[in-house]
Amino acid sequence: MGAAQQVAGAFEELYGTAPDGVWAAPGRVNLIGEHTDYNDGFVMPFALPHVATAAVARRTDNVLRLHSSDVEGGVVELSLDALEPGTDQEWTAYPAGVVWALREAGHPVTGADVHLASTVPTGAGLSSSAALEVVIALALNDLYELGLQRWQLARLCQRAENVYVGAPTGIMDQTASACCEAGHALFLDTRDLSQKQIPFDLAAEGMRLLVVDTQVKHAHSGGEYGKRRAGCEKGAALLGVDALRDIAYDDLDASLERLGDEEEVRRLVRHVVTEDHRVERVVALLRAGDTRAIGPVLTEGHASLRDDFQVSCPELDLVVEAANSAGALGARMTGGGFGGSAIVLAEAADVDTITKAVEEAFAAAGFKAPRVFEAVPSAGARQES
Ligand code: ADP
Ligand code: MG
């Protein structure tokens, strides 16, 4: 039985009627462009085969019933009129936040019954939260015939996470989950949300992309993220631009000089400006068919996140070091940092050697064994049945 059928069956058992439909939305991996999305910059995620799958039925009585097979406890029932940002510390804040954001934007959503199950690992930097938000948003968009476009759904989901849940994330995760296409990476300009699908079919070229989940959990809405964000804003203000995106790569040295003894801000600015440049380099290389050459750019990006932005951790650094020593084409942490996952670009023939090297390095360091899997660029959110 497929996942959609299973989730529909569980819905029926739970609520006593069949759902109106089943939708799925993926988690994502960011190929390059980290901590750029709240600086109006560039990102380049692709969707994972791992998805949140939700069976949903409409209601007309302003009641929202939520159930996740991945969380202990029964159905949670919420009144739409009582939805209030910041009041829910549980997982239900994500789907409830989406309903809140839709209604606040004037969309006539009058309730829903939801049952969901997800194969996206949580807290691994693979955006299980965006998958959860986007699957609900797409389902309600279809069921209530709201006619919203994918990028608009992503915006509403971001608002749900920022305002309702209270996690200050950028727009990348939700856009990736909503807009990615199989066999492609999504080159997204987070300033105007313009996007381009860049062919990214590694298997056809004899390569693989591994995700190494360090199983170290990050606290994403925690203080460190907010500090980096505030530091970037300070840098933009000191340099007299709207966002760090506006600092041209060629003007980087002059800009850093202008920041004088603001050492921390200088580091943050240098990462963001060079990272935007790395995204553009990766796009150019992929368009030129020079896929192997993106490897060193990924590794360079890791060094920048580790040394300048300082959001890596010993486990992530070890993945990159061990994978590259074992012959990877390149590797970097992905996602917000402080744990979560790293990605490794490798020749198909080297995958086993590299996986073993990373596992052995983790064992030798006394770290918990990492979870390694292959990431195939997959489809974005869709209706399943
Ligand atoms: P990430 O998005 O990197 O996985 P977050 O901390 O942003 O990490 O989001 C993880 C949270 O999303 C979980 O703690 C939980 O509240 C919610 N979540 C994700 N997947 C599910 C699920 N299948 N069922 C219920 N809640 C989920
Ligand atoms: Mg998240």
Other CB atoms within 10 Å distance of the CB of residue 77: 12
Residue 228 Cβ contacting ligand 1 at under 6 Å: no
Orientation of helix 263-287 relative to helix 223-239, angle to 10°: 90
Residue 127 Cβ contacting ligand 1 at under 6 Å: yes
Of residues 343 and 124, the one with the higher pLDDT is 343
Are 123 and 218 spatial neighbours (Cβ–Cβ below 8 Å)? Answer: yes
- The atom of ligand 1 lying closest to the CA of 336 is 3
> What's the CA gap between 364 and 165, in Å, rounded?
39
> What's the CA gap between 314 and 286, in Å, rounded?
30
Task: Kindly state the average pLDDT of the residues 240-263.
Answer: 97
Q: Provide φ and ψ at 91, rounded to 5°.
A: -60, -30
Q: Which ligand is nearest to the Cα of residue 76, counting in written order? A: 1
Are 195 and 46 spatial neighbours (Cβ–Cβ below 8 Å)? Answer: no
Using alpha carbons only, give the angle 266, 267, 269 rounded to the nearest 5 degrees: 65
Task: Kindly state the average pLDDT of the residues 330-339.
Answer: 94
Task: Kindly state the average pLDDT of the residues 81-96.
Answer: 97
**Is residue 154 very low, low, confident or very high in pLDDT (cuts 50, 70, 90)?**
very high
Task: Kindly state the average pLDDT of the residues 285-293.
Answer: 97
144 is in an annotated binding site: no
pLDDT at 220: 53
Active site residues: 173
pLDDT at 4: 97
Residue 94 Cβ contacting ligand 1 at under 6 Å: yes
Q: Which ligand is nearest to the Cα of residue 131, counting in written order? A: 1
Residue 70 Cβ contacting ligand 1 at under 6 Å: yes
Range 69-76, long-range pairs (CB < 8 A, 24+ positions)? 69/7, 69/10, 69/115, 69/116, 69/117, 70/116, 70/117, 70/118, 70/122, 75/14, 75/15
**Is residue 221 very low, low, confident or very high in pLDDT (cuts 50, 70, 90)?**
very low
Task: Kindly state the average pLDDT of the residues 250-273.
Answer: 97
Task: Kindly state the average pLDDT of the residues 181-185.
Answer: 97
Q: What is the ipTM of this complex?
A: 0.99
pLDDT at 123: 82
Tell me: pLDDT of 139 over 90. Answer: yes
**16 CB-side CA count, 13 A:** 1
For residue range 18-63, what is the model confidence (pLDDT) as tens digits? Answer: 999 999 999 999 999 999 999 999 999 999 999 999 999 999 999 9
**Is residue 226 very low, low, confident or very high in pLDDT (cuts 50, 70, 90)?**
confident
Tell me: pLDDT of 222 over 80. Answer: no
Q: Closest Cα to residue 121, out of 228, 192, 29?
A: 29
pLDDT at 217: 76
Tell me: pLDDT of 294 over 70. Answer: yes
Contacts of 385 (CB under 8 A, 6+ apart): 4, 5, 8, 21, 22
> Which residue is closest in CA terms to ligand 1's atom 9?
129
Of residues 145 and 218, the one with the higher pLDDT is 145
Average pLDDT, the chain: 96
117 is in an annotated binding site: no
For the chain, the residue count is 385
125 is in an annotated binding site: yes
Pairing of strands 111-118, 371-374: unpaired
Q: Which tokens go with 21?
A: 């439909």
**Is residue 205 very low, low, confident or very high in pLDDT (cuts 50, 70, 90)?**
very high
